[in-house]
Amino acid sequence: MLWFTLLLVLIGLCNAQSRLGSYNLESAVTVSGLSSGAYMANQFHVSHSGKVTGAAIFAGGPYYCAAGNALAATSTCMQVPSAISIAAIRTYTQTAANSGLIDPLSNLGRGRVFIFSGSRDSVLVQGVAQKLQEFYSGYIGSGSIKTVYNVAAEHGMPTDSYGGACGSTNSNYINNCNYNGAYEALNHLYGGLQRPSSSAGQSGQLFLFDQSEFFNLGPAITYGMDTAGYIYVPSACASGARCRLHIAFHGCLQGREKVGDRFARYAGYNQVADLNNFIILYPQARTIATNPNGCWDWWGYTGIAYPTKNGFQITGVQRMMLRAQGQY
């Protein structure tokens, strides 16, 4: 029985949650996400554009697309781009900015945006991603928006080294497309980055940290959040080097509860981080009764404030961001 006891101890150590640390980070932050994580990345960018200087959106649509309606989220905002009114969305966005619910929209003009939509994506059609492009074009110059619509990818995170067949879906929603989405996105947002080879390993460390402390009014699960998240720290950043922070939001059915650390380990960000001194924060959503697929809230299951600075998930992730920067 000794071997069994040792095994349980090792499992416990592997799943141990530490306190999220603080690092020597630049003040500006960028975000990205896939699917529901793409919508969340967009919401975080728009609501905190004073701090967030760029966003990479993989298979996502425009801000406040669902307008608090779950049916719209699963129909219009995934499959019916002709029913999406950018004029109405901009009216809401301006009203939210005027009310201080999101940062001033003028901040968006200094940022950069990367939009990826696979030509074979059957879950969120390209027309919806093009509506996102239309939304951003009202605030950001065309030279700062990069779109990629010509990769024959199904719904998933495109990589050049891991995942299922590019044109098919798989349970991890990571597709091996001979296309390094994480690098292409981050290189557009920052410029001048070193590209990792397709065979590059990961020399930093992936830590599991306690998310519970970042939710003050109730347990994390109340807001569809896992008790733990991941953070990837390259060795140089762990040693005190000046680094940059990027927040990556997983998609539905892709959180720790469903696939463990696969998104955090294999989506392609960590190899870019090692070469270019990025810390990658991977917050984790999870299932609750009103969110059975563990999606991020982009239709209002946590309340009407969901796309603003007052949204419970956005507030929690903001606190994680501030902790990593040594400000919380």
- Which residues are catalytic, by number? 35, 121, 155
Distance from chain centroid for Cα 33: 3
CB 18 within 8 Å of CB 210: yes
Q: Which residues of 244-271 are buried (b: 16+ CB within 10 A; e: fewer)?
A: bbbbbbbbbbbbbebbeebbbbbbbbbb
Contacts of 12 (CB under 8 A, 6+ apart): none
Structural tokens at position 190? 């920052």
The total of other beta-carbon atoms located within 10 Å of residue 229's CB is: 26
Task: Find tokens 């980070």 and name the residue.
Answer: 25
Task: Please spell the DSSP secondary structure of 4-18, one letter per residue.
Answer: HHHHHHHHHHHTPPB
Structural tokens at position 229? 């998240």
CA distances from 163 to 12, 208, 268, 278 (A): 28, 22, 10, 23
Task: Find tokens 């469903």 and name the residue.
Answer: 258
Structural tokens at position 291? 């969110």
| Helix, strand, coil % over all residues of the chain, rounded to 5 | 35, 20, 45
Nearest 5°: CA angle at 139, between 247 and 282? Answer: 5
CA distance 116 to 20: 30
